[in-house]
Amino acid sequence: MSGWFAPAASSTGVETDHLFWALMAISSAVLALVFGLMALYVVRYRAGSPIDRGALAEKSWIFEIAWTGASLLLFLGLFVWGADLYVRLYQPPGGSLKLNVVGKQWMWKIEHPAGQREINALHIPVDTPVELLMTSEDVIHDFAIPAFRIKHDVLPGRYETIWFQATRTGDFHLFCTQFCGTDHAAMIGWVDVMTQPDYQKWLDAEAPSETLAAAGAALFQRYGCSGCHAGTSTVKAPPLDGLYGSPVPLEDGRTVTADDRYLHDAIIEPSTERVAGFPPVMPSYAGQIREEDLFALIAYLKSPAKEQP
């Protein structure tokens, strides 16, 4: 039984627990009041009871205003508490470890920046903020780690972000919690929270031949991107050096920031947010590049000194 109510294993999860148990205390009190009054009245005023009913309560609006007002105040307080914590769930602290997650029927694929890849498993260091950039290859999934009190839908065609900071080492469940088809219940895995030295050992043992950015560089060649976008190209295409994070003026007059979302969409559907001053010659890559490869391509575009393959 005690394992059932173990405290959360993440920094924000502990706060979620506080709110949860506060709600539990309030609910229990209200429930005791409602059941208590109901039990009291049905016994006291049962038909067989000779008790004097006296005059019926007058001026019912005083009661009405009292319990309406009390409910409102209580609810507003609960709203603020839950909202404050929720807003912070959306604000990752700086310096977090950034990982990529791709959901597909019916597995989780995880990419580490140094190039380690894993399926249905997530190895992370303890006491370190971890930020996940997530997308789906097909239907909507949901990345949920109950021990961390965190979950978020993973949508096709969109990047969604969550973050958490594990506070205990150990193995914790990873579930898909958005129904995604036949083997939904098999889309599960483990989060392995390790000490810093153990984590370093794991990274070294799993070290791949190339980093994610290097894998992206190879894809940049393979898909023919370099034919137009490389510095020596004769075709007029937007230069990509130092692009990540910079403002991009669009043909339609808007300016967007070249973040992950923009780079992803610019590859998949280049005509939608076309860079000002460039002709619409780039073909769409929709359905041609897997999401995990898109993550690699973007990692390459983000790398400060793009390694020329």
Partner 1 sequence: MSEPVNYLTNGWTIRSWLLTHDHKRIALLYLVSITGFFFLGGAAAALIRLNLLTPEGALVSAETYNRLFTMHGIIMVWFFLVPAVPVTLGNFIVPLMIGARDLAFPRLNLLSWYLFMIGGLVALYALFVGGVDTGWTLYTPLSTNYSKGHVVAAVVGIFISGFSSIATGLNFMVTIHRLRAPGMTWFRMPLFLWSLYATSVILVLATPVLAMTLILLSLERLFGIGVFDPALGGDPLLFQHLFWFYSHPAVYIMILPGMGIVTEIVTTFARKKVFGYKFIAWASIAIAVIGFFVWGHHMFVAGQSLYASLVFSILSYLVAVPSAIKVFNWLGTLHKGTIRFDAPMLYALGFIGLFTIGGLTGLFLASLAVDVHVTQTYFVVAHFHYIMVGGMVSAFFGGLHYWWPKITGRIYPEMWGRVAAILIFFGFNLTFFPQFILGYLGMPRRYHSYAPEFQILNILSTAGSTILAAAYLLPLAYLTWSLFWGERASANPWRATGLEWRTASPPPTENFAEIPVVTEEAYEYPPPEVAQHG
49-78 residues near partner 1, rule: CB under 8 A: 53-54, 56-57, 60, 63-64, 67-68, 71-72, 75-76, 78
> Is 63 within 8 Å of 69 (Cβ atoms)?
no
Q: How many CB atoms lie within 10 A of CB 185?
A: 11
Q: Which stretch binds partner 1 (CB under 8 A): 35-43, 114-122, 239-247, 293-301?
A: 35-43
- For 163, the token pair is 């973050």
- The set of residues, in sequence order, having a beta carbon less than 8 Å from that of 134 and lying 6+ positions away, is 100, 101, 102, 103, 143, 152, 154, 159, 160, 161, 162
Please give the distance of CA 158 from its chain centroid, rounded to a whole number. Answer: 12
Q: What is the closest distance, in whole angstroms, from the C-beta atom of residue 213 to partner 1 in the complex?
A: 26
Residue of 179, 15, 17, 174 lying closest to 99 (CA atoms)? 174
Task: Write down the least CB distance from residue 254 to partner 1, Å.
Answer: 19
Which residues are 104's β-sheet partners? Answer: 107
Listed in sequence order, the residues at least 6 apart from 97 whose beta carbon sits closer than 8 Å to its beta carbon are 113, 124, 125, 128, 129, 130, 131
Nearer to partner 1, 46 or 234 (CB): 46
184-223 binders of partner 1 (CB under 8 A) = 184-186, 188
| Beta strand segments in 177-244, E | 188-194
Establish if 34 lies at the interface with partner 1 (CB under 8 A): yes
Which residues 101-120 are close enough to bind partner 1 by CB under 8 A? Answer: 105
Interactions with partner 1, residue window 165-184 (CB under 8 A):
173, 175-184
Candidate ranges 12-20, 93-101, 214-222, 250-258; the one touching partner 1 (CB under 8 A): 12-20
CB of 295 to partner 1, least distance (A): 17
Instruction: Number of residues interacting with partner 1: please give it, by CB under 8 A.
Output: 79
Tokens, residue 98: 């950034």
Interface of this chain with partner 1, residues 122 to 161, rule: CB under 8 A: 138-140, 142, 144, 146-147, 149-153, 155-158, 160
**Which 76-95 residues touch partner 1, going by CB under 8 A?**
76, 78-79, 81-83, 85-87, 89-90
Q: Minimal distance in Å, beta carbon 188 to partner 1?
A: 8
> Is residue 149 within 8 Å of 12, Cβ to Cβ?
yes
Using the rule CB under 8 A, is 253 a contact of partner 1? no
